[in-house]
Amino acid sequence: MRERLLVENHRGTIVPRTLGLWLAAAAVASTLLVAWAQPDGPVGRAGWGATVATILVFAAGLIDDLVGQGPRGVRSHVRALAAGQVSSGILKLVVIPGAAVVAVALQGTGTMAVRLAGVVLIAGCANVWNGLDVRPGRALKFALLAMACLIGVPLDLLPTLPLLALACGCVLWPDLRERAMLGDGGANLLGFTIGLGLFLILPDAWVIVGALVAVALNVVAETFTLSRLIDAVPPLRWFDGLGRLPGGKT
């Protein structure tokens, strides 16, 4: 199994896709810590459900990592399925939206339209962060930036957040130094958590806007690519390059 977690990075160096394991452990530990700190609450069904959904998303991504090379991108997985080939990516296409449906349903708030938009937002973010994990440190840096906007999210609804954010900071250095990568499991976990956090903190109208943005970014990822978009915007290109080793692809 260890060999299957090894992958060639953008420079051609073989590195392990194991940083996501640390993030998953941090998400579980964070929930347990929040529950222990306040035994009479605040973690209820919604909080525990969010944690279980997050770990299921991570597991689906990890399976995709372990299976190895196959179709990349949503369109490629759908085309493979149409041709009779069931890829590991199809598992993610089922698990991630399904986990998002459960997580949103357990929150018990919002109209049907807002809940549907929330599912799109969460699943869309999970796939966007998977697309960001193609350069050292990129997915983690943008995750930390997004998590800084989630400070007001109630811990009873998203108890995975505190230690997960801390873990992102801890594993950023080995990612930037090209000693390890997140892998699909870690990247999907980050995007799912951020999407759920945005659903919880944004006003209803902005949840719908966020869902549209997530869909647009996924379309860009499938066509123009997120790397080209980042390179085309100077502030994003500068932020993306912070801390990265010289050489290799930008």
**What Å distances lie between residue 46 and 27, 126, 216, 226, CA to CA?**
15, 19, 28, 32
Q: What is the pLDDT of residues 56-83, one digit of tens each?
A: 999 999 988 887 655 555 555 555 555 5
- What does the alpha-carbon distance between residue 38 and residue 33 come to, in Å, rounded to a whole number? 9
Q: Where are the domains of the chain?
A: 3-241
Say how many C-beta atoms besides its own lie within 10 A of residue 84's C-beta.
6
Query: Quick check: pTM over 0.75?
Result: yes
Tell me if 137 sits within 8 A of 176, measured CB to CB: yes
Q: What pLDDT, in 10s, does the model give residues 133-173? A: 989 999 999 999 999 999 889 999 999 999 999 999 999 99
Give CA–CA dist 167/66, Å, rounded: 23
User: How far apart, in whole angstroms, are the C-alpha atoms of residue 241 and residue 250?
Assistant: 8
User: pLDDT tens across 88-130, in order?
Assistant: 667 888 999 999 999 999 988 789 999 999 999 999 999 999 9
Q: Are 167 and 22 in contact (CB under 8 A)?
A: yes
d(CA 136, CA 141): 10
Backbone angles phi, psi at 6, to 5 degrees: -90, 140
Mean per-residue pLDDT for 190-218? 96
pLDDT of residue 237: 93
Q: Which residues share a beta bridge with 8?
A: 14
3-state secondary structure of 204: helix
Q: 10 Å Cβ neighbour count for 239?
A: 14
Is 240 within 8 Å of 138 (Cβ atoms)?
yes
- pLDDT at site 93: 87
Looking at residue 246, its pLDDT comes to 78
